[in-house]
Amino acid sequence: MTERRDELAGNLAKVERRIAAACEAAGRKREEVTLIVVTKTYPASDVRILSELGVRHVAENRDQDAAPKAAACADLPLSWHFVGQLQTNKVRSVVGYAHTVQSVDRSRLVTALSKEAVRQERELGCLIQVALDAGVSGRGERGGVSPDGVEELAALVAGAPGLRLDGLMTVAPLTGEYAGRQQAAFERLMELSTSVRGAHPAATMVSAGMSADLEQAVAAGATHVRVGTAVLGVRPRLG
Ligand SMILES: *Cc1c(COP(=O)(O)O)cnc(C)c1O
C-alpha cells in the first residue's frame, strides 16, 4: 500500500510539473488549470490514496465501475466527473453520484438528466461534448455532438431544470482533419467556447487534454485536463 502511495505521489508530482511548465510556457497562471484524475479501471483504494495526496477531481467513464467506487469513497471530499458515453438507462445511477457530466451530446440525454436531477433534488453540472471528427451522422466515434449542434444543445441544457451549463469538453480526434493536430483541435474547441460564453457567460469550463496532450490543451486555453495513465499507470487492455 505504501508502495502504491509512493508510486502515485511520484506520478502526480510529474504531472504537476508538466502542468506548471505548460502554464508558464503559455503565460497562464497555474490556478487557471484544474487537474482531473481519470481513475477508470483502477480500484477505490487508489482513489482514496489520490484524495489523501490532495486530488479533488476524479473522472470515470463507465457507470458499472463508477457507481460502486463512488459509494466506497463517499466520505472523501471529491468531485466526481462522468466522461463516458452515457446511455439514458444509466442516467438514474450516474446522477446519484456525479457532480458533473462531461459527455452531454444529445437532446434525449439532456431531457433524461434534467428529469432525474429534479427527481433527486440535485443540481448537475453539464459539459457539452464536442466531436471534432463528427461524420455525416453528426455524432463522433466516441460520442460528442458536431460543432454545428453545440449552440442548440447548450441552450437546451441552460434551460433545463436541475442542470447547469458549465462549458465544453472534447477528446482529440484520431481521424479526420484534426488527426495528429491536437493543439489545432483544442483551439477550435476554444473558439466554440468563446461563442457559447457569448450567450452563457457562466459556462467557462473547457475540458481538454489527456496524458499525451495536456501541454497542447493548456497552450490552447483549457481550464481542465483529464489525466489517467500518467498518474495511475497504463491500463489493462479493456476499458
Ligand atoms: C480515459 C480517458 C481520459 C484519460 O486518458 P489518459 O490517456 O489515460 O490520460 C481522458 N478523457 C476521457 C474521456 C477518457 O475516457
Evaluate whether residue 239 is within a structural domain: no
Give the tens place of pLDDT for each residue, 62-72. 999 999 999 99
* Domain span holding position 190: 2-231
Q: Is the pLDDT of residue 238 over 60?
A: no
Closest ligand 1 atom to 142 CA: 13
Considering the chain, what is the average pLDDT of its residues? 95
Kindly state the average pLDDT of the residues 29-39. Answer: 98
The CATH number assigned to the domain holding 201 equals 3.20.20.10
Evaluate whether residue 159 is within a structural domain: yes
Evaluate whether residue 182 is within a structural domain: yes
211 lines ligand 1 (CB under 6 A): yes
Evaluate whether residue 7 is within a structural domain: yes
Q: What is the pLDDT of residue 239?
A: 46
Number of domains in the chain: 1
147 lines ligand 1 (CB under 6 A): no
Evaluate whether residue 118 is within a structural domain: yes
Centroid of ligand 1 to alpha carbon of 36 (angstroms):
10
| Whole-structure pTM value | 0.96
* Secondary structure percentages of the chain, helix, strand, coil, to 5: 45, 20, 35
> Radius of gyration (Cα) for the chain, nearest Å?
17
Cell numbers for 119? 427527481
Give the tens place of pLDDT for each residue, 90-141. 999 999 999 999 999 999 999 999 999 999 999 999 999 999 987 656 666 7
How far is it, in rounded angstroms, from Cα 71 to Cα 52? 17
Evaluate whether residue 238 is within a structural domain: no
How far is it, in rounded angstroms, from Cα 52 to Cα 33? 20
Evaluate whether residue 149 is within a structural domain: yes
Evaluate whether residue 20 is within a structural domain: yes
Name the residue of 12, 37, 226 to mutate for ligand 1: max ligand atoms within 8 A of Cβ: 226
